[in-house]
Amino acid sequence: MANAAENPNEQAREYLEQAFNSWVQTSYDEEKDIVYRSPQTKKQIESSQQLLNKAKPLKPDDEWVVNRIKELQGVLDHQLKRAFTGKNSFPLLSSSMPSSFTCYRLFS
């Protein structure tokens, strides 16, 4: 743990992993690739956002960490825009989103 405190990349990666773990607790239906709108979904998305907000000021320079933070931020932004606009469910990714959400495969 001391290494993470001294290394911004490791510390950012830990926050990223915590943010991802919070995000995957949303009401996500992997088979249909949709997220169901619920207070729990919004809470988990907001929790993930708070964790990402801790990772960004560390200014990680590891390309993998930086790219995963951007990808997860894109997913969170997309979900918050779509999650509470009147539909009961919404696609996880749109055509404007990255074609693969790498964190999902790496952390799951």
Model confidence pLDDT, tens digit, residues 55-96: 988 988 888 888 888 888 887 887 777 655 555 454 444 444
Per cent of the chain over pLDDT 90 is 1
> pTM value?
0.62
Give CB contacts under 8 A, 24+ apart, made by 36-44: 36/88, 36/89, 37/83, 37/84, 37/87, 37/88, 37/89, 37/90, 41/79, 41/83, 42/80, 42/83, 42/84
pLDDT at 101 over 60: no
Of residues 39 and 5, which shows the higher confidence score? 39
pLDDT at 51 over 80: yes
Return the pLDDT at 69. 86
